[in-house]
A and B are shown apart, each in its own frame.
Chain A
Amino acid sequence: MALPNDIEALDKAFSGIGVDEKSLINLLAKSNDEHKRSLRTGCPKLFTEDENGFERSDQSYKKNLQHQFNRFRDAVVLSLLHPWERDARLLEEAIKKGPKHYNVIVEIACTRSSDQLLGARKAYHSLFDNSIEEHLASHNKATERKLLVALVSAYRYEGPIVKEDVVKSEAKILYDALENADKNNPLDHEDAIMILATRSKPHLQALYQHYSKTYGKTLTQDLEEGILKDTIECLCTPEAYFNRVLGAAVEQEADEESKAALSRVIVTQKEVLRKGGCVADKIQDSLSGLYKELMLGLIASGDIKEDDS
């Protein structure tokens, strides 16, 4: 007879992000046929009574389990890849999968350094025999294309020099573009795109501050979820962006895209996260098993700098 504890343990082992391998080993190693039958009966999510006298498994739940088991594998591989290949593959996947994944394109284009982004573009040539802008532009004919292509093509200046008068005039341009959003889509606004896609990050961060002071609200306050909001956040307040993304990933109703952010963000941003603190607490409860150990281990070691070459 399987104790209620065991049934609960089985359910828990499968319910997190990642799989609690140790718990499963403990459970199954000592499990005989009787035990297993009661496990099956006690887990209606995974097994249902078949009219032919056995508890049959639900194949789609099994598929979901596959996802969970693979998380560790995928995170390991992601972790081992050269950062350029990693970003190139993430970008290619996002382009292929379409609009719901464009936030990944924005994230990579906006949070990597100029040379890291260049590296990803070079890797893209090697891996896919095409340039990233080529693929991106031909896969998407909609309004987002302008901003996205411009973002991946950028090679932003990285020095600290910022011109105050330009910051002020461009804050106004963005203000006008956003205020008139219902009449004209900001994604079509040439000057807004120019500012977001070509200006240096220090410039944009100064602009963000100036905007808040001048207009009494942040650039992103009134924006809907979408690539424009992601773009501004990634460029101006990346830590806030990553915290938001990680938070969304561990929510109850998070979908696969949101959960995928965990590996992606933690593997690529461990320095940022380590500095920010408290991520570990947020994800402690939602992750399981080896996957959880890997993620927590990465965050803890966040001060080991990644090689940029």
Chain B
Amino acid sequence: MATLRIPAHVPAPSEDAEQLHKAFEGWGTNEQLIIDILAHRNAAQRNSIRKAYREAYGKDLLKSLDEELSSDFERAVVLFTLDPAERDAYLANESTKKFTSSNWILMEIACTRSSYELFNVRRAYHARYKKSLEEDVAYHTKGDHRKLLVPLVSAFRYEGEEVNMTLAKSEAKILHEKISHKHYSDEEVIRIVTTRSKAQLNATLNQYNTAFGNDINKDLEAGSDDEFLKLLRAAIQCLTVPEKYFEKVLREAIVGLGTDEWALTRVVTTRAEVDMVRIKEEYHRRNSVTLEKAIAGDTSGDYEKMLLALVGAGDV
């Protein structure tokens, strides 16, 4: 469930565009107004506002935001304003670049979006970067990472709830066999994780637990702690219990010394309209403090206000 809160009466996109334009005028920028509008509109509404803004002022709203805002606040606003498919395409492309490279983010996008959403990302990627997502991912990864990531971003999983229990049992067996021989990047493991529907995969992992007594990720931890294994475990988590995965990312971003703003921004902006409610519950359960409190304690200023607005704190 989304934490994004939209007012009962939403102004026309042209009005919102006008207000935003006013927010940029003059010496300073009215950040609060920007938050009041953009953090309280859904994707379709934001797209309409961008369109209206361009029609009225001959400029992309995002460009104005880029010029007027800065730092973490800017990143949060820009990322959130983007249409989800464009946003993911942007994040994915960022992940293939040398200095910001991250297999995690590619895996996260590939595994936590629905089949149709993922395909929209691939389409947006064509439009924006004039290349296919899979060709960039393939080019920038090697070996086991490529073996896992390319099929993950290329998947178009069946989305039905049907489950074949016999298949679940036999594939749980295959997984167990490969894992006990430490063949973590075996083709069969990759095949099962990258092609089966989420419902089927869930059933398979439940069977694994029933038949072999351990959660699959526990068995995967028993191996050496290499990057590939970590990625594989995270992928499995993302495919089956994404809210737990996101809770962990948030916790690691917030707790302890310093804050990983990029991770925090990414999770909040990408999940505010999807399942932030569950993520918050998970966060509270695990950390005994609400996510809002944790964010407030770890961030400040307009950045903090933007994040809090997106996770549903405060007034609409």
Q: Are A199 and B135 in contact (CB under 8 A)?
A: yes
Q: Which of A99-143 contact B (CB under 8 A)?
A: 114, 118, 121-122, 125, 129-134, 137-138, 141
- Is A285 part of the contact surface with B, judged by Cβ < 8 Å? no
CB-CB under 8 A for A134 and B195, given A118-B156, A190-B146, A194-B146: yes
Q: Which of B170-216 contact A (CB under 8 A)?
A: 187-188, 191, 194-197
Q: Are B158 and A194 in contact (CB under 8 A)?
A: no
- Whole-angstrom distance from the CB of A308 to the nearest CB of chain B? 14
Q: How large is the interface on B (under 10, 10 to 19, 20 to 34, 35 or more residues)?
A: 20 to 34
- Is B126 part of the contact surface with A, judged by Cβ < 8 Å? yes
Q: Are B126 and A158 in contact (CB under 8 A)?
A: yes
Q: Are A133 and B155 in contact (CB under 8 A)?
A: yes
- Is A95 part of the contact surface with B, judged by Cβ < 8 Å? no
For B122, list chain A residues within 8 Å (CB): 155
Q: Are B155 and A153 in contact (CB under 8 A)?
A: yes
- Whole-angstrom distance from the CB of A166 to the nearest CB of chain B? 9
- Is B119 part of the contact surface with A, judged by Cβ < 8 Å? yes
Q: Kindly state the separation between the CA atoms of A157 and B131 in the bound complex, as whole angstroms.
A: 5
Q: How large is the interface on A (under 10, 10 to 19, 20 to 34, 35 or more residues)?
A: 20 to 34
- Is A82 part of the contact surface with B, judged by Cβ < 8 Å? no
Q: Are B151 and A131 in contact (CB under 8 A)?
A: no
Name which residue of chain A comes closest to B157, CB basis. Answer: A131
Q: Which of B126, B155, B158 contacts A130 (CB 8 A)?
A: B158
Q: How many Cβ-Cβ contacts under 8 Å join chain A to chain B?
A: 96
CB-CB under 8 A for A153 and B156, given A118-B119, A134-B197, A198-B138: yes
- Whole-angstrom distance from the CB of A228 to the nearest CB of chain B? 18
- Whole-angstrom distance from the CB of B191 to the nearest CB of chain A? 4
- Is B225 part of the contact surface with A, judged by Cβ < 8 Å? no
Q: Are A200 and B132 in contact (CB under 8 A)?
A: yes
Q: Which of A131, A132, A137, A198 contacts B135 (CB 8 A)?
A: A198
Q: Are B156 and A131 in contact (CB under 8 A)?
A: yes
Q: Are B134 and A133 in contact (CB under 8 A)?
A: no
Name which residue of chain B comes closest to A153, CB basis. Answer: B154
Q: Which of B97-126 contact A (CB under 8 A)?
A: 115, 119, 122-123, 126
Name which residue of chain B comes closest to A199, CB basis. Answer: B135
For A194, list chain B residues within 8 Å (CB): 135, 138-139, 146, 150
Q: Kindly state the separation between the CA atoms of A155 and B147 in the bound complex, as whole angstroms.
A: 17
- Is B159 part of the contact surface with A, judged by Cβ < 8 Å? yes
Q: Which of A137, A141, A156, A198 contacts B195 (CB 8 A)?
A: A137
Q: Kindly state the separation between the CA atoms of A122 and B116 in the bound complex, as whole angstroms.
A: 10
Q: Are A161 and B130 in contact (CB under 8 A)?
A: yes
Q: Are A159 and B195 in contact (CB under 8 A)?
A: no
For B151, list chain A residues within 8 Å (CB): 133, 149-150, 153
Name which residue of chain A comes closest to B133, CB basis. Answer: A155
**11 sample A-B contacts, Cβ–Cβ < 8 Å, listed by A number:** A133-B194, A149-B191, A150-B151, A153-B134, A155-B119, A155-B123, A157-B135, A161-B130, A198-B139, A198-B150, A200-B135
- Chain B residues close to A by CB (< 8 Å): 115, 119, 122-123, 126, 130-135, 138-139, 142-143, 146-147, 150-151, 154-160, 162, 187-188, 191, 194-197
